[in-house]
A and B are shown apart, each in its own frame.
Chain A
Amino acid sequence: MVVGLTLAIFLVLGQVSTAIVGYTGQVVASVPNIIVVQPAGGSVGAGQNLIIAPGSPGYATLTPSVIKSISETNNVNTVQRVFTSAPSLGSGGAPGKSDCSYGNSVIGEDTIGSIKLFGPNQVSGAATPVVTSGRTLDAGDENSSNVMIGQQYANDNGYAVGSGLSMQGREFSVVGIYAGNGCDGDTVIVPYPVGATAFNFTAPIFAYVYVNSYDNLDTVFNSLQSSLGSSYSVEDLATADHSSLQNSISSILLVSEFGEFAALVAGAAMMVVVMMLVTSRRTREIGILKALGYGSARILGQITLESLILTLVGFPLALGLSVLVGPLIAQAMLGSVGTAPSASPPPSGANVAVASGAGGNPFLQNVHFALTPETVTLGLAITIAFGILAAFYPALRAIRLRPMEALRHE
């Protein structure tokens, strides 16, 4: 029973740890690894303008050669160029009625499969716009005259998918409309090369640098800071997001792993005590066997074998107990409140989805208590190892007693 409970706790915590590690990977992977580079003096932050207008200090310093050097930095996947044109800057913008004090902005971005929506009042972020009709711009639109427009702009000026739009003497075609109200929606998104030419932008005002993995973020960040110098501002957008998530997950993982270790140690200690008690009661028997001419090695081997058999007989019982108790422990540990487990146990194993009620841990809502072959094998190996070791020591101690002492042992 002791072994069963210990095994249950150990397996549950092991599964939790595994799930956390897996989830961490997913979470980390879902937050884009982005570094923003812009001429020094600009800033990217909540509620702040991103724009460096033509003629401003630092304008047009992200030259093609600088962009190229950034893209050739190790571990950089791609570099996305961005310019912003707005009437308030005297640099043009989109025509028509606008509810935004800045007017209708035009944002040019290199299309790499998803649009990062930045406008005069946008916070930094990596949200893909929600398309309400049509489609987003993609790599195929790089040199086209296709544009996306915000819903507010479409509503104010009567545009729809397929509408024509004239800007800077050039005709553009609306291929998609994204959800956005107010200034957020008073924006037209154009492919960078086409828009930059039309609006006469010789260089982007900032660049998004996409790093190939979160692990390389620091390396790329430091490398860009070093290579670009003080003329440019390099900001890591991803770290803050990753760090807070990582901290939360690390804390949970630490508790889980500590619990796993504690369960293992406690279970092993209990098993050792039980086996020591069992074996010490055989001290007299060991004395008898020695008096009959049994060698120490044979006696030790016999006791160890008997312990092994005892362990192997007990393990299936322990496993059964852990299957019964494990899901209950998992449910209690993950703090779910309210709803019953959302999945019934599958017929082939002991997978039980943990309840994800109102008080449930949002990171672990899909943790399953699963008796995988690996965990069963590991549990068996640990049980056998401790069972044998636990019997070995007291047997060795008894064998080393003088036989007459062992014979007098009660």
Chain B
Amino acid sequence: MSEVVLKTENLSKSYSVKHKTIPALKDLSLEIKRGEFVAIMGHSGSGKTTLLSILGCLDKPTEGSVYLDGVNLAGLHGSQLSRIRRNKIGFVFQSFNLLPYLNAKENVELAMESTGMSKSERSARATELLALVGLSGREDHRPQQLSAGEQQRVAIARALANNPSVILADELTGNLDGKTKYEIMKLLVKLNLQGTTIVLVTHDQKVAAESERTIRLASGRIKSEGRGNLAKRKENHPPNAKGTQVPEEIKADEFYDEG
């Protein structure tokens, strides 16, 4: 794991509200390498979601640059940014953001509709992804028929649909209970170990601790960085001959009280 997939240089973002300028990010520079699992932490208003929006081309910086796979996103116009979101970024949100009138499989297929894949290809890929996230047999269920954790799994499957360069997750465990949170984190770690780059925004210490690297924001700046448990696990279990790593699983009791 060496190349940089996401990079910011002197990134700043301000919002104008009623003739006042409110800075959300200030001169922020960071790098995220391919295959990393990074957790961005901070209190409410620290700029985490703003950072994620800019990394995901959902918003533009006021100053500074953002690079994704070496491409400077600042100079791109709307349709180019849409294409990047479609092909290189997978989003997962706290509130799942599934379309209620589509079933699980159709929600996953939705991400592939503008990619030129045929209907059968989209269908096969959606089925494969739902199996990957542990939802085989639930393809025809609508979001209302799934639990919160299952809905979030569908959202993760949708985010993986186009083999993105990076998964951006905004408080994806925020609406989940302890046990479900654990299941989701196990899934994310599994995906990361298979090579998916993940950037996770969270205010949950336990969730952040299971990442590989933590970046703590405060008042729009990077306050500190640290190593997460996954980094130690990866060091202790280097890739095998097939190139995969199989560290021990996250301990359940670190997430919820089984008792």
Please, which residues of chain A bring their CB within 8 A of the CB of B182?
none
Contact (Cβ within 8 A) A285 B85: no
Does B192 sit within 8 A of A, measured CB to CB? no
Please, which residues of chain B bring their CB within 8 A of the CB of A296?
78, 82
| Cα–Cα distance between A229 and B78 once the two chains are bound (Å) | 79
Please, which residues of chain B bring their CB within 8 A of the CB of A289?
110
Interface string of A270-290 (1 = CB under 8 A from B): 000000000000001101111
Does B97 sit within 8 A of A, measured CB to CB? yes
- Taking a contact as CB atoms closer than 8 A, the residue among A285, A290, A293 that contacts B83 in the complex is A293
Q: A285-B99, A403-B59, A407-B97 are in contact. Are A292 and B49 (CB under 8 A)?
A: no
- Taking a contact as CB atoms closer than 8 A, the residue among B59, B78, B79, B91 that contacts A292 in the complex is B91
Does B86 sit within 8 A of A, measured CB to CB? yes
Interface string of B162-185 (1 = CB under 8 A from A): 100000000000000000000000
Please, which residues of chain B bring their CB within 8 A of the CB of A258?
none
| Most chain A beta-carbon contacts within 10 A, residue among B79, B97, B162 | B97
Please, which residues of chain A bring their CB within 8 A of the CB of B84?
293
Contact (Cβ within 8 A) B97 A403: no
Contact (Cβ within 8 A) A295 B97: no
Please, which residues of chain A bring their CB within 8 A of the CB of B89?
293
Contact (Cβ within 8 A) B79 A295: yes
Nearest neighbor of A293 in chain B, beta-carbon distance: B86
Interface string of B48-81 (1 = CB under 8 A from A): 0100010010110000000000000000001100
Does B114 sit within 8 A of A, measured CB to CB? yes
How many interface contacts (CB-CB < 8 Å) are there between A and B?
55
| Cα–Cα distance between A295 and B78 once the two chains are bound (Å) | 7
| Cα–Cα distance between A288 and B86 once the two chains are bound (Å) | 12
Nearest neighbor of A291 in chain B, beta-carbon distance: B91
Does B37 sit within 8 A of A, measured CB to CB? no
Please, which residues of chain B bring their CB within 8 A of the CB of A294?
82, 86, 114
Please, which residues of chain A bring their CB within 8 A of the CB of B245?
none
Please, which residues of chain A bring their CB within 8 A of the CB of B53?
402-404
Q: A295-B82, A298-B114, A404-B49 are in contact. Are A290 and B58 (CB under 8 A)?
A: yes
Contact (Cβ within 8 A) B82 A291: no
Interface string of B86-97 (1 = CB under 8 A from A): 110101010101
Please, which residues of chain B bring their CB within 8 A of the CB of A290?
58, 82, 85
Give the size of the chain A interface in residues (CB under 8 angstroms): 18
Contact (Cβ within 8 A) A288 B97: yes
Please, which residues of chain B bring their CB within 8 A of the CB of A291?
56, 58, 85, 91, 93, 97
Does B111 sit within 8 A of A, measured CB to CB? yes
Interface size class of B (residues with CB under 8 A): 20 to 34
Please, which residues of chain A bring their CB within 8 A of the CB of B158?
292
Please, which residues of chain B bring their CB within 8 A of the CB of A402?
53, 58-59
Q: A288-B99, A298-B114, A404-B49 are in contact. Are A293 and B58 (CB under 8 A)?
A: no
A interface: dominant SS: helix
Contact (Cβ within 8 A) B59 A404: yes
Please, which residues of chain B bring their CB within 8 A of the CB of A287?
97
Q: How far is the CB of A301 from chain B (nearest CB, A)?
A: 12
| Cα–Cα distance between A294 and B99 once the two chains are bound (Å) | 14
Q: How far is the CB of B242 from chain A (nearest CB, A)?
A: 32
Q: Which of A54-99 contact B (CB under 8 A)?
A: none
| Cα–Cα distance between A76 and B59 once the two chains are bound (Å) | 78
| Cα–Cα distance between A216 and B110 once the two chains are bound (Å) | 70
Contact (Cβ within 8 A) A292 B85: yes
Q: A295-B78, A403-B53 are in contact. Are A284 and B97 (CB under 8 A)?
A: yes
Q: How far is the CB of B136 from chain A (nearest CB, A)?
A: 23
Contact (Cβ within 8 A) A292 B58: no
| Cα–Cα distance between A293 and B56 once the two chains are bound (Å) | 10
Interface string of A135-162 (1 = CB under 8 A from B): 0000000000000000000000000000
Interface string of B8-38 (1 = CB under 8 A from A): 0000000000000000000000000000000
Q: Which of B90-123 contact A (CB under 8 A)?
A: 91, 93, 95, 97, 99, 110-111, 114
Please, which residues of chain A bring their CB within 8 A of the CB of B58?
290-291, 402-404
Interface string of A376-404 (1 = CB under 8 A from B): 00000000000000000000000000111
| Cα–Cα distance between A294 and B56 once the two chains are bound (Å) | 13
| Cα–Cα distance between A297 and B97 once the two chains are bound (Å) | 21
Please, which residues of chain B bring their CB within 8 A of the CB of A288?
97, 99
| Most chain B beta-carbon contacts within 10 A, residue among A284, A288, A297 | A288
Please, which residues of chain A bring their CB within 8 A of the CB of B78?
295-296
Nearest neighbor of A402 in chain B, beta-carbon distance: B59
| Cα–Cα distance between A297 and B114 once the two chains are bound (Å) | 13
Please, which residues of chain B bring their CB within 8 A of the CB of A298?
114
Q: How far is the CB of B31 from chain A (nearest CB, A)?
A: 23
Contact (Cβ within 8 A) B111 A293: yes
| Cα–Cα distance between A290 and B86 once the two chains are bound (Å) | 9
Please, which residues of chain B bring their CB within 8 A of the CB of A295?
78-79, 82, 114
- Taking a contact as CB atoms closer than 8 A, the residue among A284, A285, A292, A297 that contacts B111 in the complex is A292
- 13 more CB-based (< 8 A) A-B contacts, given A294-B114, A403-B58: A288-B97, A289-B110, A292-B110, A292-B111, A293-B83, A293-B84, A293-B89, A293-B114, A295-B82, A295-B114, A402-B58, A403-B59, A404-B49
Interface residues of B (CB under 8 A from A): 49, 53, 56, 58-59, 78-79, 82-87, 89, 91, 93, 95, 97, 99, 110-111, 114, 158, 162
- Across the A-B interface, give the 10 residue pairs with the lowest CB-CB distance, nearest first: A293-B86, A293-B85, A403-B58, A295-B82, A291-B91, A288-B97, A292-B111, A404-B53, A295-B79, A293-B82
Q: List 18 A–B pairs whose Cβ atoms lie within 8 Å, in order of A's numbering.
A: A284-B97, A285-B99, A291-B56, A291-B93, A292-B86, A292-B110, A293-B82, A293-B86, A293-B89, A294-B82, A294-B86, A295-B79, A296-B78, A402-B58, A403-B59, A404-B58, A407-B95, A407-B97
